Amino acid sequence: MPQAKTTPECPAMRRTASPLALVLLGLGVFLLVLAPMLAWYVEPRAKRTPTDVNITSVFTGTGSYFDQQELKTKDDQQLTLTRRVLGDVAASEKSGRAVWDVSQTIDNPKTRKLDDPRKSFQWTTERWVTDRKTNRPVDCCGSKPADFSGEAYLKWPFDVEKRTYAWWDGTLGDSVPLHYRGKAKVRGYEGLRFTGTVEPARAGTRQVPGLLVDRPKSGQVNAEEWYANSGMEFIVDQRTGRILYAATGPRMVLRAPGGKSDKVTLLESDKLAFTAKTQAEAVELAKKDNEQLRLVGGTAPAAAAPAGALCTVAGGVLVARGRRRRTGGAGAHAGA
């Protein structure tokens, strides 16, 4: 009975590349695709205003305030401005915007001890809604005030330019131009410096006894509140738009209805500025944000591209060698 002929395994059907070669080749291609994606796709999308913010900034300085119990203005007093920002994550995710609830209090030595915004010398609340990419205001999600405007607030846009920016001043109820003044350092960290002032402007009314504003024959009058600012200063991280340092010189007075002269100084300070603790926290946050952006926009792509090229070349060489060995083996077998 004839025996069946055994045919040697066809070399073409054998695996022509080692697992290592295939892994290196695949990894190389992946890294080569990843590098431009990080630089051109991921990094721009990382530059978005955060929604899960929870930041407290404290300003301190000396100044004057009107004591309502003693009915007189007290000078050389310690004043504290506290600004709390809490992101509404649920509203932000639903709308695709950055929704921030902002609470600001100004305290004198008496109200500071109470640690209650409702009992502070002055308490204001706002709800800011902005486009996460452009930092421009958006009218949605219960934004307050309705006429919120400008392009710089508690955060500048990403990639801050050396130009004038419109800053939203909640006390004025309008935006104020802040002019670029060069570079400056905060705790050794460099940022861009902007300054501006506010000329006296009517900011609202307040019901007070007429006697306070030289209207002794009147009972209660709706006195005019006038606001000015002798100097606003901000040092901003250029890449992220985070404020590293801020100072303000507010002045609020009362005038009689239709009056031209100031009658009562409600609040005045030449300078309320970030405390050392607030400055340190702001700088650390800016450093952290910069490292993340630098990683996805610079370090990672720069490392991925050459590594991908190296892996691709190495994998390709191993695949080619494997094919040559198989081809040589097939010839030798046929010759035998």
Q: What pLDDT, on a 0 to 100 scale, did the predictor assign at position 334?
A: 42
Q: What pLDDT, on a 0 to 100 scale, did the predictor assign at position 216?
A: 86
Which pLDDT band, with edges at 50, 70 and 90, does 246 fall under? very high
Query: For residues 4 and 54, which has the higher predicted lDDT (pLDDT)?
Result: 54
pLDDT above 70 (res 283): yes
Domain presence at residue 242: yes
pLDDT one-digit tens code per residue, 129-162: 999 888 899 989 999 988 888 999 888 999 999 9
Domain presence at residue 12: no
> Measured between alpha carbons, how far apart are the two ends of the chain, in Å?
26
Which pLDDT band, with edges at 50, 70 and 90, does 321 fall under? low
> Percent of the chain having pLDDT more than 70?
74
Domain presence at residue 307: no
Domain presence at residue 111: yes
Please, what is the average pLDDT of the chain?
Answer: 81
Q: What pLDDT, on a 0 to 100 scale, did the predictor assign at position 317?
A: 54
Query: For residues 335 and 279, which has the higher predicted lDDT (pLDDT)?
Result: 279
Domain presence at residue 43: no
> Average of pLDDT values for 7-23?
52
Domain presence at residue 195: yes
Range of the domain at 265: 51-292
pLDDT above 80 (res 299): no
What does the buried/exposed string (b/e) look like for 203-215 if buried means 16 or more CB atoms within 10 Å of the residue's CB?
beebebebebbeb
Q: What pLDDT, on a 0 to 100 scale, did the predictor assign at position 276?
A: 97
Domain presence at residue 30: no
Total of domains in the chain? 1
Pick left, alpha or beta for residue 204 (phi over 0 → left; psi -120 to 50 → alpha; otherwise beta).
Answer: left
Burial class (CB in 10 A: 0-12, 13-18, 19+), 278: buried
Place of tokens 């250029």: 238
- The lowest-confidence range among 99-113, 205-219, 251-265, 312-326 is 312-326
- The lowest-confidence range among 69-73, 226-230, 292-296 is 292-296
Q: What pLDDT, on a 0 to 100 scale, did the predictor assign at position 132?
A: 86
pTM: 0.76
Which pLDDT band, with edges at 50, 70 and 90, does 286 fall under? very high
Which pLDDT band, with edges at 50, 70 and 90, does 256 fall under? very high
Burial class (CB in 10 A: 0-12, 13-18, 19+), 199: exposed
Domain presence at residue 332: no
